[in-house]
Structure 1
Amino acid sequence: MGSVFLPHLHTGWHVDQAILSEDDRLVVIRFGRDYERECMIMDELLFGIAEKVKNFATIYLCDIDEVPDFNTMYELYDPCTVMFFYRNKHMMCDFGTGNNNKLNFLISDKQELIDIIETIYRGARKGKGLVVSPRDYSTRRRP
């Protein structure tokens, strides 16, 4: 285990503060239910890359039962959803799935997730609101 742990955001206020507090890094928030299998897998992956991306991204976890504030606004009905924010702005990413608002499927490997976060970060720094994912996931089958 590294020195990095993934902090949980326990209220809507904490989510807002997390998004507002970063000026230079991408804010990555995993919304979902901590006990869901998909979330556990994603959390492990996020934990595994946190140290590698810490210079340009900060990662948080948020349980949508504990903090239901954003469920309607962000349509958080998937078992696990990862969203990206930069300078208090919701960053969108085109994964080829038709849903540009969030990452709502499992990524199979750490490097792939690092590439996505890095790509969104680079786009955000250039002032883009929508970034195209380094890979097209449209042909991906649901598990």
Structure 2
Amino acid sequence: MSYLLPHLHTGWHVDQAILSEEDRVVILRFGRDGDETCMRQDEILSNVAEKIKNFAVAYLVDIDEVPDFNEMYELYDPCTCMFFFRNKHIMIDLGTGNNNKINWAMDSKQEFIDIVECVFSGARRGKGLVISPKDYSTKYRY
């Protein structure tokens, strides 16, 4: 499903995507298109893209093609989703202890939409850290 979503091919393109979006959350999925976890997350992203288009936009970034952010954002997991709003990284407390990113594939389209709505709502109110509508501390084991 990664072919349905826009890819950012350089660090400059990633920066421009984050900088140029004034009113929507920018979702960056870092990973590899061929990775199983990324494929599951890409399916969720492509299925919700139309529903969230008024308040969020999603891009895919291959961590091999664009290694610029691997160390800065600690991109060691097969699949990572991060959220940005008005050039600011929005952290989200999912109950997992890692507030910087989601590093697993979501199982439910509605759960992901709920998270993006939560991020958008909190970010518009100036919050740099938002609380997830659901606690994921026991759902996913690392």
Compute the TM-score of the two structures, normalised by the length of structure 2: 0.96
Paired with 2:10 and 2:140, the residues of 1 have a C-alpha distance of 34
The residue aligned with 2:109 is 110
Root-mean-square deviation over aligned CA pairs: 1.2
Aligned mates of 2:31, 2:106 — CA distance in 1: 15
Cα separation, 1, equivalents of 2:141 and 2:97? 14
Report whether the alignment pairs 1:135 with 2:134: yes
Map of 1:85 onto structure 2: 84
Q: How far 1:83 moved relative to its partner?
A: 0.3
User: Is 1:33 matched with 2:71?
Assistant: no
- The aligned amino acid for 1:69 is D
Q: Which residue of 2 aligns with 1:14?
A: 13
Instruction: Give me the whole-angstrom Cα distance separating, in 1, the residues matched to 2:97 and 2:51.
Output: 29
Measured after TM superposition, the shift of residue 142 of structure 1 is 2.6
Deviation, structure 1 residue 141: 3.4
1:23 equivalent to 2:14? Answer: no
1:6 is displaced (CA, Å) by: 1.2
Distance in 2 (CA, whole Å) between partners of 1:80 and 1:88 is 22
Which whole-Å CA distance do the structure 2 matches of 1:77 and 1:34 have between them?
Answer: 15
Q: Which sections of structure 2, spanning at least 5 residues, go unmatched?
A: none
Structure 1 runs (4+) greater than 3 angstroms displaced: none
Within 2, Cα distance between the matches of 1:117 and 1:37? 22
Q: What amino acid maps onto 1:115 in structure 2?
A: D
Counting only pairs closer than 5 Å after superposition, residues 88-103 of structure 1 correspond to structure 2 as: 88-103=87-102
Instruction: Answer yes or no: is 1:48 the counterpart of 2:47.
Output: yes
Q: What is the alpha-carbon distance in structure 1 between the residues aligned to residue 16 and residue 135 of structure 2? A: 32
Note the C-alpha offset of 1:107.
1.2
Correspondence for 2:125: 126
How many residue pairs are counted as aligned between the two chains?
140
Letter in 2 for 1:19: I
- 3-state SS of 2:51 partner: helix
TM-score for both structures, normalised by structure 1: 0.95
Q: Unaligned stretches of 5+ in structure 1?
A: none
* Inter-partner Cα distance in structure 2 for 1:106 and 1:121: 20
Deviations 1:40-75 (A, max 9, x none): 010011000000000000110000000000000000
Amino acid paired to 2:56: A
Q: CA deviation at 1:25?
A: 0.3
